[in-house]
Structure 1
Amino acid sequence: MFDLRYWRCVLKKSFSCPDNDVRFYLYTPESGRKRMRIDIRNHLSLPLSGFDPLRKNVILIHGFNGTESKSPMTVLRDAYLYRGDTNIFTVDWAEISRFPCYLSSLSNTRLVAQCTAKLYAFMMDHGGIAEETSCVGHSLGAHICGMVSNHLDVKQHTIVGLDPARPLVDRFGDSYFRLTRDDAHHVQVIHTNAGLLGEKNQIGHVDFCVNGGMVQPGCKGNVVHIARCSHFQSACYFAKTVKQPKSIMGMPCSGMCPKKWTNWGFAPGKPVPMGHDTPYGLQGTYCVETDTKKDCPFN
């Protein structure tokens, strides 16, 4: 049966949090893959869900046509669960970011950012440590991580943008609507489909241009399939660095990403780890070559 609801786009016209279309969940080393819904109106919500203020914190935000319960978010979640030292918060805005409603999803990022900022403040009010808290976003989720700072009194400590979305953002989005290096003390960006689904060139303090930045090994099929697969690979590469410290290294290179042919413009300097263990305060663009041939799972 043809479902008309599939084509019904939701455009949020009011920005009041909490909102039932922006849901927060917590995963802990003790709960594993069992998620706990977080209600920022209930001050017992965090303690009763297993939140440990002495742990590190990560906020994971999916992109267009995504959800917190499918890849690549589950790949990231499981990587942090493997570490066993992190409170893992996921932001689910699937109901207002469905295909084919990209334009309304782009507008709805404002609401998601505002509500996520309230989650961030809620965490800090319950003992969370800002210096131990990171926001990791994929595609439009990367821009949401940046927009969260618009609603905070102080900058976030660390943001990781996984192939931040490019369509329309590059043309119409000002600094309020997109991730920039001004949104946190340390902004890292990983480019895997630069110039197509992902932003190009340097936009953070430190940017990693992986395998030339546009097409990733193991991504086969038509142009659309290759682009989506490459776009998702940014999350899988980062997840690998969460599980295996210093497993992916980059060399200094020119700021242009994607790279043309094999001329990556290497510059003098030592290799540095990409991802979870990238040194705080590092700046510049780094080129990465991986030997992976495994297709990153995506829906």
Structure 2
Amino acid sequence: MLLSLWRLALVFGFCANCVLGGVWNIYDLKYWRCLLKKTNECPDNDIKFYLYTHETGKTKIRIDIRNPYSLKLSGWDPNKKNVIIVHGFNGTESKTPMTILRNAYLSRHDYNILTVDWRPLARFPCYLSALSNTRLIAQCTAKLYAFMMDNGAAAEDTTCVGHSLGAHICGMISNHLNVKQHRIVGLDPARPLIDRYADNVWMLTRDDAHQVLVIHTNAGFLGEVNQIGHVDFCVNGGRMQPGCKGHRLRRARCSHFQSACYFANTVRKTNSSIAYPCSGQCPKMDRNHWGLLSRNGIPMGEDTPYGAKGMFCIDTHSNTDCPFD
């Protein structure tokens, strides 16, 4: 029993502290007290929305969609582009890699940055309940999306960026809208259990937006392996990233987070990462077997052209570890 619980913690925890102390905590019933939402009522006190702008910097302002003036009074500019950032399991909007994404957008002047914080519903070790809760997160975030549109936002200037389970939440938002989202960026969409048991209602697919862009960095372990977007990027072979060191779990978790770091870099630097068409799916074990189809590259990430399709491979030549909390 102890071994089974320990393995469950390692697979679904993605948590450095749990490797050291989690084996003792499994005997504590409070440790396994998970929040499983059984309602579909929004707003929900466990789901919070925050606004950041270039003018306010890292000072966040909570958005209340029940107040029709909440956005405008918070400094939101309807003439700017919008990004909605959604974290994954065992995450929060105030931890990496979400802060890395937020800061990349803050370095620009042309974005309103909205973050979704569902930390109480995503905490370790409650992966199964977190997975179930994604339906409510998507429903409530769809109300935020509609609230923005009602206040003058343009759908074609709005992007949902989600990491891990957050990527699937971005996709599920479309289940609650009467129009298709314009753009979704899925950062190493989560694989555990979803690859076996989820249908298209739960999973990010190319049907969820006019442009669905996916970056694979830990394909086959914590991240999805298939091409699920209009354009998918397989980075450094897509499985383990060169800057990630240590035991296998730490390397996997680090690689999983690298997707956010790579994308953030493209937000900061125009056309900074060029990828090339390749065959098959992620992961690709050997660069010599990537199956490059041409040398006509496209930018990965923020500047990926609308209408691009297919699988693309890129070697970042990076040996920098992506920090994570």
What is the TM-score of this pair, normalised by structure 1? 0.98
CA distance in 2, matches of 1:281, 1:154: 19
Match of 1:136 in 2: 161
Q: What are the within-5 Å matches in structure 2 for residues 1-299 of structure 1?
A: 4-262=29-287, 263-299=289-325
Residues 75-102 of structure 1 show CA distances to partners (whole Å, capped at 9, x for unaligned) of 0000000012100000000000000000
Question: How much does 1:4 deviate?
Answer: 4.9
The answer as to whether partners of 1:255 and 1:284 remain within 8 angstroms in 2 is no
Q: How far, CA to CA, are the matches of 1:214 and 1:100 in structure 2?
A: 24
Report the 3-state secondary structure (helix = DSSP H, G, I; strand = E; otherwise coil) of the residue aligned with 2:179. coil
| Alignment partners' CA distance in 2, 1:140 and 1:6 | 21
For 2:73, the aligned partner's letter is: L
Once the two structures are TM-superposed, the CA of residue 203 in structure 1 deviates from its matched residue by 0.6
Secondary structure of 1:175 counterpart: coil
TM-score between both structures, scaled by the size of structure 2: 0.90
Distance 2:75 2:307 in 1: 32
What residue identity is the alignment partner of 1:293?
N
Could you list the runs of 5+ residues in structure 1 that have no partner in the other structure? Answer: none
Code of the residue aligned with 1:278 in structure 2: it is T
**Distance in 1 separating the partners of 2:46 and 2:251:** 31
Structure 1 residues 23-46: Cα deviation after superposition (integer angstroms, max 9, x where no partner): 000001111000000000001110
Displacement over 3 Å in runs of 4+: 1-6
The 3-state SS of whatever aligns with 1:259 is: coil
Q: 1:122 offset after TM fit, Å?
A: 0.2
Q: Secondary structure in 1 aligned to 2:39? A: coil
CA distance in 2, matches of 1:39, 1:260: 47
State the Cα distance separating 1:52 from its structure 2 match: 0.3
Partner letter of residue 292 of structure 1?
A: S
* Aligned amino acid, residue 208 of structure 1: F
Structure 2 runs not aligned, ≥5 long: 1-23
Measure, in 2, the Cα distance between the counterparts of 1:291 and 1:253: 18
Instruction: Say what the alpha-carbon RMSD is for the aligned residues.
Output: 1.1
Q: Which amino acid aligns with 1:60?
A: I
Number of residue pairs aligned between Structure 1 and Structure 2: 299
Q: What per-residue deviation string (whole Å, max 9, x for no partner) do you get for residues 156-180 of structure 1?
A: 0000000000000000010000000
Conservation of the 8 A alpha-carbon contact between 1:241 and 1:276: yes
